Amino acid sequence: MKLNEISAILIWSENYQKLASWYQRMLGLSTIEEINHPKDTGIGLAVGNSYLWIGRHPKVKGKNKDPFRIMINMNVDHVQEAYETLKKRGVHFIAEPFKAPTFNSYFATFEDLDGNIVQLIGML
């Protein structure tokens, strides 16, 4: 068996429409599809060539209670520029741009409406 790639990142939310709208508004993500089925409801968003699914799950309630367990990294050309743009849009950053301790890239870390952690990674 060979795993080829991660096909999608899925974020479950009690209020998936509000969270998807936040990603669209704050990060400028475009909608690939919307599905409204009793067993599969959500919105698929494009992040470059990657697929981000934000959907409803019956076992997910409220904000993320363990937000640091999984972080989503999104590549950007310039972390400082992306940080400044998103900060102006009202994104709540929990870490301003900083250099990675073990390689030559920079990060900036923010949380979404449900408390999930997202990091920007790229050159300063």
Question: What domain count does the chain have?
Answer: 2
Within this chain, do residues 76 and 120 fall inside the same structural domain, yes or no? yes
pLDDT of residue 70: 95
pLDDT tens per residue across span 75-106:
999 999 999 999 999 999 999 999 999 999 99
pLDDT of residue 6: 92
Q: How far is CA 97 from CA 30, 93, 106, 122, in A?
A: 25, 10, 6, 10
pLDDT of residue 13: 97
Within this chain, do residues 85 and 104 fall inside the same structural domain, yes or no? yes
pLDDT of residue 73: 96
Within this chain, do residues 56 and 68 fall inside the same structural domain, yes or no? no
Within this chain, do residues 69 and 54 fall inside the same structural domain, yes or no? no
pLDDT of residue 62: 95
Within this chain, do residues 52 and 72 fall inside the same structural domain, yes or no? no
Within this chain, do residues 96 and 121 fall inside the same structural domain, yes or no? yes
Within this chain, do residues 54 and 69 fall inside the same structural domain, yes or no? no
* Domain stops at, among 60, 80, 106: 60
What is the full DSSP assignment across the chain?
A: --------EEEEETTHHHHHHHHHHHH-PEEEEEEEETTEEEEEEEETTEEEEEEE-TT--SS-SSTTSSEEEEEEEEHHHHHHHHHHTT-EEEEEEEE-SSSS-EEEEEE-TT--EEEEEEE-
Instruction: Specify the CATH number for the domain of residue 98.
Output: 3.10.180.10
pLDDT of residue 37: 95
Domain interval for residue 40: 1-60
Query: Which residues of the chain fall below pLDDT 70?
Result: none
